[in-house]
Amino acid sequence: MRTVAVLGATGSIGRQALDLIGRHSGSFKASVLTANQNHEALFDMVRAFRPEAAGLVVRPKELPEDVRFCDWYFGEDCSERALLAHRPDDCLAAVVGIAGLGAVMTALAACERVLLANKEALVTAGDLVMARARELGKTILPVDSEHSAIFQCLEGANGNPPRRLILTASGGPFRTWSAERIRGATVVDALGHPTWRMGEKITVDCATMMNKGLEVIEAHHLFQMPEAALDVVVHPQSVIHSMVEFPDGAILAQMGAPDMRGPIGYALGYPARLPYGAVPLDFAKLTLTFEAPDEARFPCLRLAREALREGESAPVVLNGANEAAVGAFLQGAIPFGDIARLVEGALQTVPKRVIDSLEAVRAADREACAFVRKALKAS
Ligand code: MG
């Protein structure tokens, strides 16, 4: 029996992880559950999964009688304190955004394995996170579907170094739209993802293709590959989850119906594969297509590559400005096209910093958010 912390339990990844844990309750116990502010949903999960500990960033007015049996933690650092006190075997880090960074670092210290769904931790502090994992001898298992796919392909590498990693992208809801139509897209348009069901922030990131840019940076850190060896191909059916090319030109692809329980389950059960009722692929009915990503219509992808090449605080600024701009877009404060414009402005304006500590990451993040807030006020 492995004990598992699920951070961000009420989000899309957290719910699907608990679905898997429920299906395999003889092998896994959800021992710590934390969420941001969705009290009622977390209370229901606590009733169903009976964890040792639970946490909420936003303290509820009161705790119902029937959830008081476990230890409760409240506040920004509720996940970190719960992890240190209860030390589960595994930690699924599924908090959205840079808010999850501190908990990822704590999980590396407190747990044996970190199942990483929080891509922003690697985007903003990849060198620090990977160095910490190496220093402590801890395992990071990717949960992002593309990185899980690459990880699975590399399991078949027999020590042969990859020549190229090819991340697939669905292309998002605006794949076939003109640049002008994309600039004026609404929140409803942006939240209509064609193949994957996910939370709001990542769904908007898919629509701008910033998500793929963040994933290129994430892959650079996870697999220690240079930016030039990280390719992106648009594959609207999302059946191939990503690919690895070897020096002889051979390519391994990982495929399956698009369902996040696949990559979550691969990390959770690793090295075992956990059945969850996945829909089998019917190849006779499949048509798989591929196209090059269009960085003119989706400038966020280009900006992310530029930030990765520049290094130090540039990816932090990219991420911070993007989080702030996506938040503003979801609130109806800016048009869709302004997300990329604000990120580009932040990358050009916010002074560069050396990233040698979490404090430096947080300072660069604050400066990027401040840039976006100021730009919003001025407009
Ligand atoms: Mg992904």
pLDDT of residue 289: 98
pLDDT at 109 over 80: yes
In whole angstroms, how large is the CA radius of gyration of the chain? Answer: 20
User: Residue 195: what pLDDT?
Assistant: 73
* Distance from the alpha carbon of residue 219 to the mean position of ligand 1, in angstroms: 11
Q: Are 241 and 256 in contact (CB under 8 A)?
A: yes
Average pLDDT over residues 44-49: 98
The strand pairing partners of 91, in sequence order, are 5, 114
Residue 198 is predicted with a pLDDT of 76
Question: What is the model's pLDDT at position 303?
Answer: 98
Distance 119 CA to ligand 1 centre (A): 9
pLDDT tier, 269 (very low <50, low <70, confident <90, very high otherwise):
very high
- Rounded to the nearest angstrom, the distance between the alpha carbon of 224 and the centre of ligand 1 is 18
Mean pLDDT of 217-222: 98
Measured in Å, residue 209 CA sits from the centre of ligand 1 at: 11
Centre of ligand 1 to C-alpha 20, Å, is 19
Beta-carbon count within 10 A of 379 CB: 9
In which band, very low, low, confident or very high, does the pLDDT at 33 lie, cut at 50, 70 and 90?
very high
Distance 149 CA to ligand 1 centre (A): 10
pLDDT score for 379: 78
Distance between Cα 213 and ligand 1 center (Å):
10
Phi, psi at 205, each rounded to 5°: -60, -35
Mean pLDDT calculated for residue range 10-17 = 96
C-alpha 200 – ligand 1 centre gap (Å): 14
From ligand 1's centre to the CA of 165, what distance in Å? 14
Residue 68 CA, ligand 1 centroid: distance in Å: 36
Tell me: pLDDT of 373 over 90. Answer: yes
Q: Give the residue-averaged pLDDT of 233-240.
A: 97
- If pLDDT is split at 50, 70 and 90, which confidence band does 199 have? confident
Q: Quick one: what percent of the chain has pLDDT higher than 70? A: 99
Please tell me the distance from the alpha carbon of residue 75 to that of residue 73, in angstroms, as a whole number: 7
Name residue 302's beta-bridge partners: none
CA of 144 from ligand 1 middle (Å) equals 5
Q: How far is the CA of 123 from the centre of ligand 1 (A)?
A: 13
Q: Is the pLDDT of residue 209 over 80?
A: yes
Sign of the dihedral defined by the CA atoms of residues 290, 295, 300, 304, in that order: positive
pLDDT band, residue 173 (cuts 50/70/90): very high
Please give the distance, rounded to the nearest whole angstrom, from the Cα atom of residue 84 to the centre of ligand 1: 29
Distance 339 CA to ligand 1 centre (A): 20
- Band (pLDDT 50/70/90 cuts) for residue 147 is very high
pLDDT tens column, 53-100:
999 999 999 999 999 999 999 999 999 999 999 999 999 999 989 989
Q: How far is the CA of 215 from the centre of ligand 1 (A)?
A: 7
- How much is the pLDDT for 279? 92
Q: 132 pLDDT exceeds 90?
A: yes
Opening angle at CA 164, ends 160 and 167, nearest 5: 125
Q: What is the pLDDT of residue 224?
A: 97
Tell me, in angstroms, the distance from the centre of ligand 1 to residue 368's CA.
Answer: 24
- When the pLDDT of each residue in the chain is averaged and rounded to a whole number, the result is 96
Give residue 227 CA to ligand 1 midpoint distance, Å: 17
Q: How far is the CA of 63 from the centre of ligand 1 (A)?
A: 35
Distance in Å, CA 152 to ligand 1 centroid? 14
Cα of 379 vs centre of ligand 1, distance in Å, is: 33
Instruction: Using the mean position of ligand 1's atoms as its centre, give its distance from the Cα of residue 294 in Å.
Output: 18
Distance from residue 263's CA to the centre of ligand 1 (Å): 10
Q: How confident is the model at residue 192 (pLDDT cuts 50, 70, 90)?
A: confident
Query: What pLDDT was estimated at residue 308?
Result: 98
* Confidence tier at 17 by pLDDT (50, 70, 90): very high
303 Cα to the center of ligand 1, angstroms: 18
pLDDT at residue 116 tops 80: yes
